[in-house]
Structure 1
Amino acid sequence: MIDADGYRPNVGMIICNDKDEVLWARRIGERSWQFPQGGMHPHESPEEAMFRELKEEVGTDKVEILGRTRNWLRYELPYSRHRARSRTRYRGQKQIWFLLRFAGDEEEINLATARPEFDEWRWVDYWSPIDEIIEFKRQVYQQALCELAPLLGKAVPSGRWAVRSGSV
C-alpha cells in the first residue's frame, strides 16, 4: 500500500523500560540496529498496526501507550535500496511513532517469531539511537524522540540536534 506521494504507511515503536531506556534491536544478518517498525495493512489504524507489529517483531504486545507523534514523519529510501522490479513510485516510508512502556517480563521478549527480523536486542539510553541509526532514517528518529521526550519528563539536549520543521 503506497500513497499517492510514493510513501508506504508504517508505524514505529519506541519501547521503554522502567528506567526510560529504549529497546534497540539488531536486524538479522546485518550490523545495523533500529527500533521495531512495520507497515500498515489497508483499513488498519496505526494503533492496530502497532500491536500487530509488536507481536510479529518482539513476540509480545505487553505495553502501555504513553503517546504518539502528532503527524506522519517521512524518510526517503536511498535508490540503492529500492526493489529492483517495483512497479510503484516508491519513495520511502511515512510513519506514526508510538512511545510505549514495556509492561511484561524481559523473558517475554522473543525475537524468534514466525518471520524474525531481529537477532539481538538490548536496552540503551533514550538518546543514543539518534547517533547509531543509519543516516537516511536519522532525521525521523530525531524528530520522534524529541517530540515524545516530554512524555518521559526528558528535556531535549540543547544545541545537539536541531529538529527541522516542515518535514512531516
Structure 2
Amino acid sequence: MQVIDSEGYRANVGIILCNAHNRVFWAKRIGQRSWQFPQGGIRQEELPEHAMFRELTEEVGLLPEHVQIIGRTEGWLHYRLPKRLIRRDSRPTCIGQKQVWFLLRMVGDENDVRLDSSERPEFDHWRWVDYWYPLKAVVPFKRQVYFQALRELAPLLFPEGQATPYSITPRAYYVPKR
C-alpha cells in the first residue's frame, strides 16, 4: 500500500549507487528513453532503510551484502509531478514524491547487477556515469531533487570539495528537448 501524506506526497526512497571510482549507477526505464536513479515507494510501517534495500533488490538485483551505506539525506526532498502525470481519479491523489536519498557504495561485483530480478523490471539498461551527469539527463521535474540530493551527499564522496559545483544551479543543467 502506498503511503501518501496529507499534502499529496508519496513517501519514497532514492538510491545513488556509486562504484570505487565515484561514478554513479544510471538506469534506463524499460520501454522508454528516460534514465534515472533507482527509486521506489515506502510501504506502510516500513522504515526508509528497509524500503531502500527492497527497492535495490527489486530494481537492480543487488542484495544488502553487495553494497555499503555511505550516507542519506537528512530530511525529505520533494518534487511535484507534472499535471499530465497526476491521476486525479485515484484516492488519495498523489501530486508528487517526498524522498529520502541514500548514497551507497557497491562492494559486490558488477555481475551481481540483475535488472531482470523481479517479475516487472523497471530498467532495461544501465551504465556508470560521472557523479553530476544525472543533472543534465534526468527529466526536468526531478532535476531540483536530484540537485539537492547530489549536493547534500557529495561531501561524503568528495571531502575536499573537488567536483562539487555548489555555484551551479539545476537550471544551469537544463537541456532543451529537440
Q: Which runs of 4+ in 1 moved over 4 A?
A: none
Residue 94 (structure 1) aligned to one of 95, 98, 105:
98
Would the alpha carbon gap of residues 86 and 145 (structure 1) be closer, same or farther in structure 2, given more than 3 Å must change?
same
State whether structure 2 residue 86 is matched by structure 1 residue 82: yes
How far apart are residue 131 of structure 1 and its match? 0.9
Residue 51 (structure 2) aligned to one of 32, 41, 49:
49
CA deviation profile, 1:21-49 (whole Å, cap 9, x unmatched): 00000000110000000000101000000
What amino acid maps onto 2:5 in structure 1? D
What amino acid maps onto 1:92 in structure 2? G
How far apart are residue 159 of structure 1 and its match? 2.4
State whether structure 2 residue 152 is matched by structure 1 residue 147: yes
1:1-168 aligned at under 5 Å gives the runs 1-61=3-63, 62-83=66-87, 85-114=89-118, 115-153=120-158, 155=161, 156-161=164-169
How far apart are residue 113 of structure 1 and its match? 2.0
Instruction: Calculate the aligned-residue CA RMSD, in Å.
Output: 1.4
TM-score, normalised via structure 2 length: 0.88
Structure 1 residue runs without a partner (length 5+): 164-168
Q: Matched residue pairs, number?
A: 163
Hey, what does 1:166 align to over in structure 2? none
- Among the aligned pairs, what percent are the same residue? 58
| Alpha-carbon contact 2:16-2:101 (below 8 Å) kept | yes
Structure 2 residue runs without a partner (length 5+): 172-178
